[in-house]
Structures are given as structure tokens and as C-alpha cells.
Amino acid sequence: MTPRKRLMGLGAFALASSLVLTACGGGDSGDDSSEGTSTGIVTISNGEPQNPLVGSMTNETEGGLVVQQLYSGLVYYDAEGVVHNEIAESIESDDNQTWTITIQDGWKWSDGTDVTAANFVDAWNWAAYGPNGAKGAGFFDPIEGFTETQGVPEFDEEGNVSGMAEEPTAETLSGLEVVSDTEFTVTLNQPESDFPIRLGYSAYFPLPDAYYDDIEAFGEKPITNGPYVLEDWQHDSEINLVPNEEYNGPRKAQNGGLDFIVYTDENTSYADLQGGNLDILENVPTSAMSTFEEDLGDGAISEPSASFAAMTVPEWLPEFQGEAGLKRRQALSMAINREQITETIFAGTRIPATDFTSPVIDGWTGEIPGNEVTEYNPEEAKSLWDEANSEDPLPDDYVLTIHTNTDSDHQAWVEAVCNGYINDLDIKCEMTGYPTFDEVLNERDKGPDGKVNGLFRAGWSADYPSLQNYLGPLYSKAALAGSNDGRYESDEFDAALKEAAAAPSLEEANTLYNKAQEILFKDLPGIPLWYYSTTAGHSEAVDNVEFGWDSMPLLYEVTKSE
């Protein structure tokens, strides 16, 4: 595979004093009739979603792929990451701080009610309010009044928000105001030139009034406004979607529906694809990495994506705290032979990581000061580990554990990393496996009250095409109840993010985001591993299969005959 840089379309956001996004037109997709559509049901490999099918409650790929089909937001991203209006008529600002958002008339929920500006404002307020425990709460941090809506949460043994150690002082964001049924305003804490880029992410999706009547029931059978509606969800088995008759936007379904099949073994899904029992495979198993392009022929997909892999070092582990803990973190990073693992296990379909973001995102540089810890250096790694042990001795029976799900392509590389630690650091290392992805997510969400007593594997597929999306959601304090699973807290890092977001141009912002990464390399809350590529496949039964910049298939485009 020859890596190529995707153009993310960010040039459109190199703003000066004003930014305007104008509508493409809700029905201007070339799909004014059923001409060109197909009626076959497309089957896709997936895992069991961890959370209810609500945008602000979903922060993992299994649920995220389903939610993207069910809801429409203000904007959406095409295959190259270019931003297009969906529900938005325009998104305007004279100062990049106060934004006026106008939505198009005529949008409907699947129950026939109108999509209104209040549906956005109410949904954002609900997600931002700390006691609700929304996974996407941190995405509203830039909006005025966010701190007042947060409070200090307490977590139950399942990792969910169970109460508040300190109650919020406000229930809604002071920076949101409904002007009319088709207009609302957003006031940020400071000017942020890339704010509109973020608005295609699922945390910003609207919710109908019916959501608040029975939140739990809604998550199982949502009323939606996207290309599809939910027909049935058989937990741990499959999720069935059918085209939404009320939808007339630019992502109109070109097939008769989608069946997401829940697999716990990627080798099984690969065999089903080859046997004609599956249409789209999201991820090729490691066992087939060296042969899948030959096996699948024209159905093989191998291209760069905006995804990143790391191991998180939980802040609650005492052996990784203080100066000795930092030396251990550095040693663990330098004892990973990334080049060897990406070549032998992933057949060159992964690229060793040198930072915390992705090469396909505008502004990326592989030359962050401090990133020498990503270079394989077993001698220095052993020296640092021994120094740490002399300063803060570990018990003789200490075993380093790495926690991961085993229903994907992770077991092989985790075992390889563990073997490296055994050989290079002369320590004991074991993998702790969980049968499914949602199980390991639930366990690590419990934090220090759970069973994750070691490192855990982490991955991130960008929500929107910006360097900020790899940094804020994973490492800021605002994301502690969301995707900051290691519970890293750094005032210095948060201040650096804020400074970068306030930059007057995207180019200046990217420079500052990369400066913020220097703090991450100083603290190592996570250990960068490699950049993912999309390695996927499809059967001969489907056409127009395209995977986007974020490694997600654009399922509404797929056609299939009966």
C-alpha cells in the first residue's frame, strides 16, 4: 500500500473575520425520485453498540456507525472529509465567537413532526448537563456556560454517572439561544475559527421532543431524522435499518436497508464475506492481512484513514505516578518495536506512530519534540525501567497487564508487545482479554473502581477533520466523563488547547495544537502505537462501496439488487 494524503477540505475554513456556510439544498442530491436506487438489503459486519442509539451518548465505532445512518446534523462530511450542509441553511459569524445558525424548512422526524432549532438547542443543553452523564458532554466545552452545567460527577461501579459530588449551578448553556423555529445562536467562550467543522459529529445531532418523555425507551427505538430508521435491534445479534420515508436530504438511501451483523470473531466475518453471506466487512482480520487483496480482488479496500492506535496508561495506577512512574511510561514506549509489529502482524497496512494525531489530517507533522520515545530503543528502555525500580521498587510478583477486547485484530499485537516487555525489560507481562468491545469499554469506564489494573488498548477514529479532535476528546479535563478514559488531568495541556482553538487561522491553530502535543509527550498519558489504514472488503453483490476519510463506509451510497 502506498500511503497518500487525503485532502480534508479544510482550506474552506481558513477564515478571516467572517465565515458563512450556505446550504447545498436539502433535496439537491440528484435523488428527487427513486431512479438510480436499489432495493436489496445490505449486510455489514459490526459489533454490539455499548450505548443507547443517541448521538451524544455514543463515543465508540460500533454504535457510531449505526447512529450516523439514523440521524442528520447541521453538516455532514463526504468521503474526502469536505464539509457540506445537511440541515443547516447557513452558519455565520462576524467574529468567530458568536454564531448564527439557520436551518432549512421542511425537515421532518420519522414520526412526521418538524425538525426545529429548539431540537438542537435542547439536545445540546441535555448533553452538556453533567448529571445526565452524556458521553459527548465534553464537546460542548467551548460554549459559554459549560462549566456551570458540569458540577463534579460521581461514578457507579459500572462507570456511569451515579450522582454529583458537586451540583451544577446551571441546567442550560448560557451561550445557546433559540431565535425562531429555524434560527438559533451559539456564543463561545472565545473566538474559534474551526467551530463549524465540528458540527457534523454525532454529539451535535438534534433530538425530537419525544426523547425527553422516556429517555431509556428512546435509546432502544429512536425517532430519527437521518437516511434510515430503526426497524429492529436484536442485542448481540443484529440491527436492522430501513430507509426513512421522511428524509429528503443529500444522503438519501440508495438501497433497501441495512442489516448490521454483530460478530465476536473477525475470522468468522471474513469467512462469511468470502462465502457470500456478508456484503461489507469493516475490518480485515490479522490472519488475512497478507492475502486479503489477492483473496478479494476488486472487493479489497486498502487506503489511509484518520484513525490512530495507542495504549492508555491509567492515572489511577500508583506504579505510573511521579518521576518513577514517568520513567516507566517512557520505558514501555521505547520497548515497543513498532516497525516489526506493523510489518509482521499487519503486513505493512499500519504505519508506526510518531505523534497523537494522524498524517491524513491537515497540519500533521511527525516531528514533535519529545517523540523520540516512540523509537525502539531497548537498551534505554531497560535503563529507565531499572532507574524507576531503584527509586520506587515494585513487588517481586508484579505483573504488567494489557487489557483488550479479543473480537478484533488486537490479540496478536498485544501478545507481541507483552513478549517485548518480557524480553527487553525483564518483567512479567500478560494480556487480559474481554470477549467483546463493549465489555472492555464498560470495564475501563469504571476507572479505579474497576478491574483494569494495567494498560489498556485505545483507538480513535476522527469525528471531524481537525487535529483538535485527537487531543481534546481524549486528554482534556472536559472529557473526563466522555472519552478521557485514563482520567488524565493537566491544566497546562488544557490551556494549550484553549490557546490553539482561539488562533485566528487554521494554520496558526495547527502550530499550537502540535505545541500542545509536546505536553503529552512530557506526561505520556497514552503511548502512541501506529496509524491505521482502512483494510476492508465487500462482496460482488454490492456496488458503489466507498470508505470515507474516517474509515467509515458511506452506507447510504451502496447499491444492491434483490
Predicted confidence at residue 482, as pLDDT, reads 66
Residue 381 CA, distance from chain mean position: 31
Other Cβ atoms less than 10 A from the Cβ of 25: the count is 12
Residues 6+ away with beta carbon under 8 Å from 542: 40, 42, 279, 280, 558, 559, 560
Closest CA to 49 of 69, 75, 78: 69
CATH class of the region 18-256+539-560:
alpha beta
Residues of the chain with pLDDT under 70: 1-36, 153, 155-161, 164, 449, 481-482
Predicted confidence at residue 273, as pLDDT, reads 98
Instruction: State how far the Cα of 352 lies from the Cα of 536, in Å rounded to an integer.
Output: 20
* Angstrom distances, CA of residue 475 to CA of 144, 451, 520, 524: 21, 21, 9, 10
User: Can you say whether residue 84 is alpha, beta or left, with left for phi > 0 and alpha for psi between -120 and 50 degrees?
Assistant: beta
Q: Which fold has domain 305-533?
A: Dipeptide-binding Protein; domain 3 (3.10.105)
Predicted confidence at residue 393, as pLDDT, reads 96
Beta bridge partners of 155: 161
Predicted confidence at residue 19, as pLDDT, reads 38
**Coil, helix or strand at residue 294:** helix
Give residue 506's identity as a one-letter amino acid code.
L
Instruction: State how far the Cα of 460 lies from the Cα of 442, in Å rounded to an integer.
Output: 17
Q: For strand 399-405 and strand 428-434, is the pairing parallel, antiparallel, or unpaired?
A: parallel
Q: For strand 399-405 and strand 455-461, is the pairing parallel, antiparallel, or unpaired?
A: parallel
pLDDT digit string, tens, across residues 492-513: 999 999 999 889 888 999 999 9
Domain ranges of the chain: 18-256+539-560, 305-533
Residues 6+ away with beta carbon under 8 Å from 36: 30, 254
The three cell numbers locating residue 6: 487525503
pLDDT digit string, tens, across residues 370-391: 999 999 999 999 999 999 999 9
Predicted confidence at residue 220, as pLDDT, reads 96
* Angstrom distances, CA of residue 490 to CA of 316, 357, 494, 524: 14, 18, 6, 11
The three cell numbers locating residue 432: 487480559
**Coil, helix or strand at residue 361:** coil
Residue 373 CA, distance from chain mean position: 25
Predicted confidence at residue 36, as pLDDT, reads 55
